[in-house]
Amino acid sequence: MDIRAELKDLMQNKNYSMTYVATATGLAKSTISMWLNGNYNGKNDKITDAIHNFIQREVERSANKDLPFVDITIVKYISEIARLCHTQGKIGVCVGKAGLGKTVAVKKYISEFLDSILIESDSGYTAKSLLKEIHRRLGLSGKGSVYDLMDEVVRKLNQSGRLLIIDEAENLPYRALEITRRIHDKTGVGVLLIGRSILLENLKGFNNQYDQLYSRVKYTKILDKLLFEDVEKILNAIGLNSKLADTYLRYSDGNTRRLEHLISHSISIAKFNGNAEVDDAVIKETSKLLMA
Ligand SMILES: Nc1ncnc2c1ncn2[C@@H]1O[C@H](COP(=O)(O)OP(=O)(O)O)[C@@H](O)[C@H]1O
Ligand SMILES: [Mg+2]
C-alpha cells in the first residue's frame, strides 16, 4: 500500500486527528496535509521518513499490547554483559538480528541500574551529535564546541562508575564510535554497544584498520535465536498452552518480534475460524500469511 493511503487508513481506523499525528511526528499540521495531498514542496523524503516511523511505531504498539515483559535468555545475556562492563569499566559489544529483544533487554537493565545511560542512536548521528546527546543526558546544556563538550563530559563522568549503553550502534559513523572509546579511556566508565551483526564489522573496519577500537573490546556476545524454553515462558506468560512451543518456535524462526506477531495473529485467525483454541495447523496457516 502507498504510504499516504496507509496513513489515511490508520487515522481513520484509530480515529486520529491531524493534531495527534502532528504531535506524534513533530511535523506541522499544514505540512502533513500538503504532503498527504501531494502538494508539499519541501523535502518530501524527510516527511515520508517521519510518517513511516510513526506508522511503524503504531503497528508495533498494537501488536505488542498483549505481551508482557518476559525473562527470556536474551535478557539474561544482555544483563550479564552489561553488568560486567558496568562494574569493571570495560567495553562490551552485543549483536544480534533485529527483533530479537535487545532493546527491551537494555531498557530492563537501565530500569534496574539507574546510573546507566542509554543512548538510542539513529542514522543521523555524527560524532558531534552523539557527544551533544551525552552532554545533555548528563544534565548539561548540550551546547559548545566538540572540544568543550568532550572536556565537560569527561569531567562529569570521570571515575563515576557509570555505564554508557549505545543501542543501534551500527548506525554510528566510525568517528562517533571513536568518541565513545575516548570517553571510556579518559573516564574509566563502562561502555556497551548494542546492534545488528554489522556493528562488529564496523568496529573492525575494512582490513581491520581500526584495530585500536576493536582491540579495546573486552566482552562480545553474539545473540542467536530464542530457545525452546523462551518460547514456553512467553506462552505461559499469556496463558497459552506451552504444548505449542515447538511449532511457534519453528514458524517464528526464533525471532521474538515475529513470534509476537505470530501469536497475536494466530489467536485472531483461530477465533475467525470459529475455533476456541490455537493449534499447530492454525500457526502454520498464520505464518504463511505473515510471510506474504
Ligand atoms: N523480554 C521480552 N518480553 C516480552 N516481549 C519482548 C521481549 N523482548 C522482545 N520482546 C518483543 O519483541 C519486540 C522486539 O524487541 P526489540 O527489543 O525491539 O528487538 P531488537 O532491539 O533486538 O530489534 C518488542 O517490541 C517486544 O514486543
Ligand atoms: Mg532495538
At the topology level, CATH places domain 228-291 in Helicase, Ruva Protein; domain 3 (1.10.8)
Which residue is closest in CA terms to ligand 1's atom 1? 70
User: For 253-271, what is the mean pLDDT?
Assistant: 92
Q: pLDDT at residue 41 above 60?
A: yes
Give the pLDDT of residue 60. 65
CATH 3.40.50.620 fits 73-222, yes or no: no
Model pLDDT, residue 77? 98
The whole-number average pLDDT for the span 65-94 is: 94
Closest-CA residue, ligand 1 atom 8, reads 101
Question: pLDDT tens-digit profile of 158-216?
Answer: 999 999 999 999 999 989 999 999 999 999 999 999 999 999 988 887 667 677 788 89
Mutate to test the pocket of ligand 1, among 56, 257, 263 (most ligand atoms within 8 A of CB): 257
pLDDT of residue 206: 65
Determine which residue's CA is closest to atom 16 belonging to ligand 1. 101
Q: What is the pLDDT of residues 94-124, one digit of tens each?
A: 999 999 999 999 999 999 999 999 999 988 8
Domain segments of the chain: what residues? 3-64, 73-222, 228-291
**pTM, entire model:** 0.79
Q: Residue 264: CB within 6 Å of ligand 1?
A: no
Domain 3-64 in CATH 1.10.260.40: yes
User: Is 90 touching ligand 1 by the criterion CB < 6 Å?
Assistant: no
Atom 5 in ligand 1: which residue has the minimum CA distance? Answer: 69
User: What CA–CA distance (Å, rounded) separates 271 from 287?
Assistant: 16
Q: Is 256 in the pocket of ligand 1 (CB under 6 A)?
A: yes
